Structure 1
Amino acid sequence: MEEQETRRGRAGRRQGLGVSSLDMVVTLVAVVVVVAGLSVSLIFPPDAPEAPVADEGRRAPAAAIPSPAVADPVVPEGGEVVVPPLAMEAERQSAQLVCQALIGTTELTALAYNIKSARAGSLDRLLGVMQRSGADVILLQEVDNRRRSTGSVDQAAWFAERLGGWHSAFGRNVTFGDGLYGTAIVSKYPILSSVNTPLPNIGRAQPRGLLHAVIDVEGVEVSLYSTHLDNTSANIRTQQASRISSMLAADPRPKILGGDMNTWPGSGPEQILTSRLDDSFVDAGSGSGPTHPASRPRTRIDYLLYGGPDLTPTSSVVMSEGGSDHLPVRSVFTLGGIKTEKCSDGAASKKSKKGGGDQPTQENTATPE
């Protein structure tokens, strides 16, 4: 009996030792599995969820873009292609690189007109002649300024306003009790400066002057001169022509001199002026040349002379218009030196002021040289 109990006790102890060893093995295996799982998760983290694509393109990671100029467009789920901002900026920069600066030309039409203070017609009639001429700049002689005898009107300003808000300059040569008398310049282009210089005179002859205005033609400065030489003495006209010639020689700009010279082609004063300047009617004229008297023209005493760089006449005519005792002379010039910018993508060209400075952007109508 005791021997059997002793055997049962030994068997129970062996069974207990076996069960305890198994539990320890199981626990150890579980620990190893957990540790291994943590190690794997640390070495190979799970993929992050994809962020939704926004309505506008986002910049891709640097490693995904071979170069900014060739970034691939993003295609969201809706199917619309969205170009990344970096690619759009690169495209804009690329478009700017194909733009190039050019030097172009523009057309400038001038009119020289002795209006006889509107005494032979009316201001409206003279205005019609100016409008039909298509002139951009008008050089006037025998102009009244607030004289009661012609309606107390500043005639130059009157024409400028009705031509579309143009610009005007007046050169006083004679002061009357009721107003002023002299020459004028009316311009579609802005007048940067103006000055009237008295010309040589002798005795009691009527005072004469040279009105000089500098205008801005698409960024290029152009000098305009309007004058009316003496009608009583060849000696006075010669002195006046010499003074004008020396003054224009000191002006480096493209320039146009227009006016009633009271002298005919080939005369001494005319030769003095054309030794410094060229005659647009001689170089590009057509039709009849006489300008006075308007009712039956016999001689040419009204001129449009020109000089300086980048100014070339393409046509010149004497207009058969009434309204004064002189016929107006109209000349068309090509003016160079106009800065332009041309882009290969077809964008509108822009003109900029010659020599620098900010200018409003405009549509390019110039012809590149």
Structure 2
Amino acid sequence: MPTVGLPGALVVAAVLACLPMILERQVIPWRGGTLVETFVSLAVVLVVTVWATRAAVPEPTRRPLAVDCLRVASLNIHGGYTTFFAPNLEEVADLLQRSGADVVLLQEVETGLLVSGSVDQAHWLADRLQMNVTFFPQNEHLQGLAVLSRLSVSDAEGYLLTSPGAQAAAQYVRYRLDENGDLHVYNAWLNYPLEAVDGRQVNEQVQDQVQQMNELYSVVARNHFGPQADPANPDRVVLGGSFNADESSRLYQIWAETVFEDPFATLFRERRNTLFPAGSPPARWDYLWLLNLRNSGAIIAEDEAVSNRRLSIVAVGREANQVCPTPGG
């Protein structure tokens, strides 16, 4: 059945609302008026209807200038709060807009919890930034992962990872760039490290994170390194999110031992920190990894304290010899 869209629905609603008035002709306020008055009244109604329709329809998604050079960012928005639990959505939106990111991986996104003002944070940010949004729920559709983009979504799915505690998950989105190939994006959130009763960290081998990362590794390997992989046209992949473990952990080494590239590895160690907890030293718990994409520069926006995490940004090119504008440049 064909759809009439929002303007058509408004016209139908206006006609239905006026039916009682049309049937009771004596109550029509302009009955007996001149023809000019009737047409002026109709014109005013049409102008107001068109204006209201335009105001209700969100602005279309702004596309990237060129799909050969893209900026990819990742940020854990901490449920919409700063380190000291002040609302931060406006600041997050401003930061993402200034970053010029074309694809944004978001973690700890809430979609209607009362403590976060019952705001669907993923769609609010998408509307504010004129971007597409894909959301994957972790906890009863109230919290999850989101990817914002200026690209057209070709496919999307998610994976709930084995989680004795808080639900860990990974989100997958495929973007159709053009006839030269797709962009594959993985956005993950893993459990926080377990601690023993005395406050010491539990042995890494029994951490929930290790099993979750192994499951994520299996998904990526199956999708991009299986029999269907075409060596002549390899997949271009971005993997990122909150791994909630530092670079000395097995979770980091799993990917460091593969063909994935850490675009931030060349930064000074103190410039790679993404977690800035109150009263504790900073650490790197959030990552972006690249496969078959050229790293044209990466930065951590460490001075932008919109969350207890910091925004990671990397500029990527599709071809090996392609140089793209660097973030912050």
TM-score band, normalised by shorter chain: 0.5 to 0.7
Correspondence for 1:222 among 178, 183, 188: 183
Deviations 1:66-116 (A, max 9, x none): xxxxxxxxxxxxxxxxxxxxxxxxxxxxxxxxxxxxxx9811111110001
Residues 1-369 of structure 1: pairs in structure 2 closer than 5 A: 106-120=68-82, 121-164=87-130, 166-175=131-140, 180-202=142-164, 205-219=165-179, 220-233=181-194, 234=204, 235-252=207-224, 253-276=235-258, 277-282=260-265, 288-293=271-276, 298-307=282-291, 309=292, 311-319=293-301, 320-336=303-319
Larger Rg: 1
Deviations 1:182-238 (A, max 9, x none): 111111101111111011223xx1011101011123443111111111103342111
Question: CA distance change for structure 1 residues 193 and 285 in 2, over 3 Å: closer, same or farther?
Answer: farther
Number of residue pairs matched by the alignment: 229
Deviations 1:145-187 (A, max 9, x none): 12222122221111111112x2111111112xxx610111111
- 3-state SS of paired residue (1:280): coil
Q: Is the 8 A contact 2:274 2:300 kept in 1?
A: yes
Give the aligned residue type for 1:323: V
Q: For the residues of structure 2 that align with 1:199 and 1:273, how far apart are their CA atoms?
A: 18
TM, length-normalised to structure 2 = 0.64
Cα RMSD between the aligned structures? 2.6
Question: CA distance change for structure 1 residues 300 and 112 in 2, over 3 Å: closer, same or farther?
Answer: same
TM, length-normalised to structure 1 = 0.58
Give the aligned residue type for 1:169: T
Q: Is the 8 A contact 1:227 1:259 kept in 2?
A: yes
- 3-state SS of paired residue (2:142): strand
Q: For the residues of structure 1 that align with 2:93 and 2:208, how far apart are their CA atoms?
A: 32
Question: CA distance change for structure 1 residues 132 and 148 in 2, over 3 Å: closer, same or farther?
Answer: same
Q: For the residues of structure 2 that align with 1:286 and 1:208, how far apart are their CA atoms?
A: 27
Q: Runs of 5+ in structure 1 lacking a partner?
A: 1-103, 338-364
Q: Is the 8 A contact 1:318 1:328 kept in 2?
A: yes
Q: For the residues of structure 1 that align with 2:272 and 2:91, how far apart are their CA atoms?
A: 22
Question: CA distance change for structure 1 residues 158 and 246 in 2, over 3 Å: closer, same or farther?
Answer: same
Q: Runs of 5+ in structure 2 lacking a partner?
A: 1-65, 195-203, 225-234, 325-329
Using the TM superposition, give the Cα deviation of residue 263 of structure 1 relative to its aligned residue in structure 2, in angstroms.
Answer: 0.7
The answer for the alignment partner of 1:347 in structure 2 is: none
Q: Is the 8 A contact 2:67 2:177 kept in 1?
A: no
Question: CA distance change for structure 1 residues 330 and 117 in 2, over 3 Å: closer, same or farther?
Answer: same
- 3-state SS of paired residue (2:68): strand
Question: CA distance change for structure 1 residues 272 and 180 in 2, over 3 Å: closer, same or farther?
Answer: same
Q: Is the 8 A contact 2:240 2:288 kept in 1?
A: yes
Give the aligned residue type for 1:230: N
The answer for the alignment partner of 1:82 in structure 2 is: none
